[in-house]
Amino acid sequence: LLFLWSIIVSIFGIGGLLGSSGSRYLTVKFGKKKCLLCNNVLMIVAASIMGCSKIAQSFEMILIGRFMCGVSAGLCVPLHHQYVGEISPKKLRGFANSTSSFFWSLGKAIGQISGQRELLGSQSLWPMLMASCGFPALVQLVALPFFPESPPYLLVHKGDQEGCKKAIRQLWGEGQHQAEIDDIMKEKATMKNTKILSVLELVKEPAFRWQLYMIVILTATVQLCGINAV
């Protein structure tokens, strides 16, 4: 039993690894908005599967749902950062990106509090707790269609200059936005002359060796700071 629950807990991370690994290909092919919409559907399906696991008397459903949640979270983290950053005006871009980390932490805190036995962690309500991850996904699924696709994606990957201008006007209002469009064009020109490295090439590249060491050490030592115990 301990082994099965250990798999259920850890399979979220395996799904997250797969989801984040495929995020770049999916965003280039389908766009960030479409990927986020499909990702919300995936999370809602995962939440429904886990929520029905007790009625079906199937722990396998929890296993499948946790894996799907991991894939969804792995896709969502890079997608959300990119989309929020790209639709924000330059002066608010740093602030907009920082809100992602804030709400990520807030969501984890709410989940921990809701999981107390006095709230949703009881014998009868735990399926509702496991299904609760589908509610934020449903909110975004309803709200996101009213937002345009990312302007840099439309211009850089689709070559749709009119669509890019329309998206910018919808997001930032009427006015002169030629400077922002010029910045995106400069980025497009830079990308043409820059080779995109695979994960293996990144690990082997000497110029990034120290940055990778720092990231790995920082990420590993976070687990030793007591946050999980808190």
Share of the chain above pLDDT 70, in %: 94
Specify the number of domains making up the chain: 2
Q: Which of 147, 176, 205 is the last residue of a domain?
A: 147
Task: Identify whether 179 is part of a domain.
Answer: no
Model pLDDT for residues 159-198, shown as the tens digit of each residue? 777 888 888 888 877 777 677 777 777 776 676 666 777 7
Residue 141: pLDDT above 70?
yes
Q: Which of 86, 119, 147 is the last residue of a domain?
A: 147
Structural domain span for residue 213: 195-229
Within this chain, do residues 50 and 137 fall inside the same structural domain, yes or no? yes
Task: Identify whether 135 is part of a domain.
Answer: yes
Task: Identify whether 106 is part of a domain.
Answer: yes
The CATH number for 125's domain is 1.20.1250.20
Mean predicted confidence (pLDDT) in 143-155: 86
Within this chain, do residues 106 and 8 fall inside the same structural domain, yes or no? yes
Task: Identify whether 183 is part of a domain.
Answer: no
Within this chain, do residues 34 and 98 fall inside the same structural domain, yes or no? yes
Within this chain, do residues 13 and 76 fall inside the same structural domain, yes or no? yes
Q: Which of 147, 178, 206 is the last residue of a domain?
A: 147
Task: Identify whether 161 is part of a domain.
Answer: no
Within this chain, do residues 44 and 130 fall inside the same structural domain, yes or no? yes
Task: Identify whether 167 is part of a domain.
Answer: no
Model pLDDT for residues 82-138, shown as the tens digit of each residue? 888 888 887 888 888 888 888 888 888 888 898 898 888 888 889 999 899 899 999
Within this chain, do residues 142 and 202 fall inside the same structural domain, yes or no? no
Q: What pLDDT, on a 0 to 100 scale, did the predictor assign at position 61?
A: 92
With contact defined as beta carbons under 8 Å apart, do 167 and 151 qualify? yes
Within this chain, do residues 110 and 214 fall inside the same structural domain, yes or no? no
